Amino acid sequence: MIEQIQPGPQLDAAVAAVLGGEYLEDIASVFWPDGSYEDWKPSQTWNGAGLVVERLAELGWTTQVTAQDGGERIARCLKWEEENGELELVALTDYFECATAPHAISLAALAALGAG
């Protein structure tokens, strides 16, 4: 179950793969099919999590992140499509509750793109 994957290289590699990239752990970077590359620690840093949110948006997904009273962060992804001039929810992931938002966002990305 993806809820059990801890932040770090294993999760970062899985997120890169579902987004179409190739993760290189020794340099903590992801290479994309278009030849570009980025520093890649999405489960560990806000910068990395932001890159995941942007990539998900390019694929039509919205990412929701909320802070809980106890300090936990929860995230989920939703996909909307326009039908007859109105937006219709066509897919949604479970909520993922973690100690950090980057971790929760990474798990939600895996679930959204079918790795969960």
Per-residue pLDDT of the chain (116 residues; tens, 9 = 90+): 788 899 999 999 999 999 999 999 999 999 999 999 999 999 999 999 999 999 999 999 999 999 888 888 999 999 988 888 998 999 999 999 999 999 999 999 999 998 65
Q: How far is CA 23 from CA 19, 54, 82, 101, in A?
A: 11, 17, 34, 21
Secondary structure element (H or E) that encloses residue 91, with its range = strand 86-92
Contacts for 79-84 with beta carbons within 8 Å, 24 or more apart? 79/112
Q: Which residue type does 90 have? A: V
Token pair belonging to 21? 């990239």
Which pLDDT score is estimated for 3? 82
Any idea what the CATH number is for the domain that residue 12 is in? Answer: 3.30.2120.10
**Domain containing residue 98:** 2-112
For residue 27, what are its two tokens?
């340099």
The whole model's pTM is what?
Answer: 0.91
pLDDT of residue 1: 79
